[in-house]
Amino acid sequence: MPGLVQGKNTVVLGVASERSIAWAIARRLAQEGANLALTYQNERLEKNVRPLAETIPGTLVLPCDVSDDGQIESLVQSLQAQWDRVDLLVHSVAFAKKEELSGRYVDTSRDGFHLAMDVSVFSLVALCKALEPLMGAGSSVVTLTYIGSERVVPNYNVMGVAKAALEASVRYLASDLGPQGIRVNAVSAGPINTFAARAIAGFTTMLQRVREVAPLRRNTEAEEVADTALFLLSDLARGVTGEVIYVDSGYHAMGMV
């Protein structure tokens, strides 16, 4: 039987290591027949991404610093040279200065706020605009968010505000791109022990708290997020757009936690 995304040309942004959620999603999509293009931000991350890409034959590896419009344009040109279309886009990109991810949100710097919003939110808008000419009916976009968008999570600070803006962007992009048959959704994942997550002060405590109070009494696994992303990217979710789906062992459903 053909895979759920057989032959779909797929761009995945945000792979930083084998523990990245983006890598779990990329692997899962490849298992279901997708053609992959992975991006990297700089030479240091390229050294991590290329060995992973080599484990999936035919995977493209392309540079893209999402804060640079020129690099986004170059990414599109490189994709056009290889593919006649882009079917799926996975946006797993977020960043805030480490000093902004501890203490009080009120102490966020202006530069830190702008940087978090640019990389974590506007990059999705910029990528959708740049790739729109290559996408069409049946195309699907998935981004990654977190419950800190709607509840105060200690030390998450400006990233929580950025995730709130990201989720609003999902809805607006779904409205803008829907007439072309392009769907846009988000997965709100529970805390997962990735390189990026460890930059948040008290992250270990976050993991422990979820295990204690989430209905399933366990933490989220990257593979669970990947399965949900696969669903949203496939035709199984052809009627779903503008949605945020939680994959957090039920933690979001709890009240006094």
The residues annotated as belonging to the active site are: 146, 156
Which amino acid is present at 144?
Answer: L
Cα 173–chain centre separation: 15
Q: Going by C-beta distance under 8 Å and a sequence separation of 6 or more, which residues neighbour residue 195?
A: 16, 17, 19, 20
Beta bridge partners of 188: 145, 246
Classify residue 89 as exposed, middle or buried by CB count within 10 Å of its CB (0-12, 13-18, 19+).
Answer: buried
Taking alpha carbons only, the member of 82, 113, 85, 86 closest to residue 99 is: 113
Q: Please tell me the number of Cα atoms within 13 Å of 231 on its side-chain side.
A: 15
Q: CB atoms < 10 A from the CB of 255, how many?
A: 4
Report the relative pairing of strands 35-40 and 9-13 from DSSP bridges. parallel
